[in-house]
Copies of this chain bind each other. A is one copy, B any other.
Amino acid sequence: MINYEDRGVSPHKPDVKNAIIGIDQGIFPNAFCKAIPDILCGSKDHCLLLHADGAGTKSSLAYIYYKENEDLNVFEGIAQDSLVMNLDDLLCVGAVDTFILSNTIGRNYKLINGEILKKIIFGYTKMIKLLEPYGIQIYNCGGETADIGDLTRTIIVDSVLATRILKKNFIDCSKVKANHDIIGLASFGKAVYEEEYNSGIGSNGLTAARHEILSSKYKEKYPESFAPEISNFCYTGKFNLNDKLPNTNLTIGKAILSPTRTYAPVIKEVLNKYKNSISAVFHNTGGGQTKCLNFGNNIKYIKNNLFPIPPIFKLIKENTSLSQYEMHRVFNMGHRMEIVCDPKVSLEIIKISEKYEVEARIVGKTELANNSSLTIITPDEVLEYIK
Q: Which residues of A contact B (CB under 8 A)?
A: 5, 8-10, 13-16, 18-20, 23-24, 26, 34, 36-37, 39-41, 43, 48-54, 56-57, 59-60, 98, 100-104, 106, 108-111, 113-114, 117-118, 121, 125, 137, 139-156, 158, 160, 162-164, 207, 210, 224-230
Interface of A is mostly: mixed
B49 and A141 within 8 A (CB) = yes
Contacts of A10 in B (CB 8 A): 109, 147
A104 and B104 within 8 A (CB) = yes
Contacts of A14 in B (CB 8 A): 114
Partner of A160 from B15, B41, B52, B57 at Cβ < 8 Å: B52
| A16-B145, A100-B40 as given contacts; A108 in contact with B156, CB under 8 Å | no
Contacts of A59 in B (CB 8 A): 151
Contacts of A24 in B (CB 8 A): 140
Q: With the chains together, A153 CA to B8 CA distance in Å?
A: 11
Contacts of A15 in B (CB 8 A): 113-114, 117
B229 and A160 within 8 A (CB) = no
| A52-B102, A56-B146 as given contacts; A156 in contact with B152, CB under 8 Å | yes
A152 and B150 within 8 A (CB) = no
B26 and A141 within 8 A (CB) = yes
Q: With the chains together, A41 CA to B164 CA distance in Å?
A: 8
B160 and A102 within 8 A (CB) = yes
Partner of A40 from B9, B56, B98 at Cβ < 8 Å: B98
Q: With the chains together, A78 CA to B267 CA distance in Å?
A: 38
Chain B residue at smallest Cβ distance from A60: B150
A40 and B39 within 8 A (CB) = no
A36 and B141 within 8 A (CB) = yes
Partner of A41 from B36, B41, B230 at Cβ < 8 Å: B41
A50 and B8 within 8 A (CB) = no
Partner of A230 from B57, B149, B162 at Cβ < 8 Å: B149
| A16-B145, A18-B118 as given contacts; A5 in contact with B153, CB under 8 Å | no
Q: With the chains together, A121 CA to B16 CA distance in Å?
A: 10
Q: With the chains together, A98 CA to B145 CA distance in Å?
A: 25
Closest 3 CB pairs of A and B: A15-B114, A149-B227, A8-B149
Partner of A39 from B98, B152, B207 at Cβ < 8 Å: B98
Q: With the chains together, A14 CA to B113 CA distance in Å?
A: 11
| A20-B121, A141-B36 as given contacts; A150 in contact with B207, CB under 8 Å | yes
Q: With the chains together, A158 CA to B52 CA distance in Å?
A: 10
Given contacts A18-B114, A51-B141, A152-B153, 11 further A-B contacts (CB under 8 A): A8-B109, A9-B149, A15-B114, A19-B117, A24-B140, A36-B100, A36-B139, A39-B137, A40-B98, A149-B226, A151-B156
| A15-B114, A118-B19 as given contacts; A143 in contact with B52, CB under 8 Å | yes
A102 and B51 within 8 A (CB) = yes
B144 and A52 within 8 A (CB) = yes
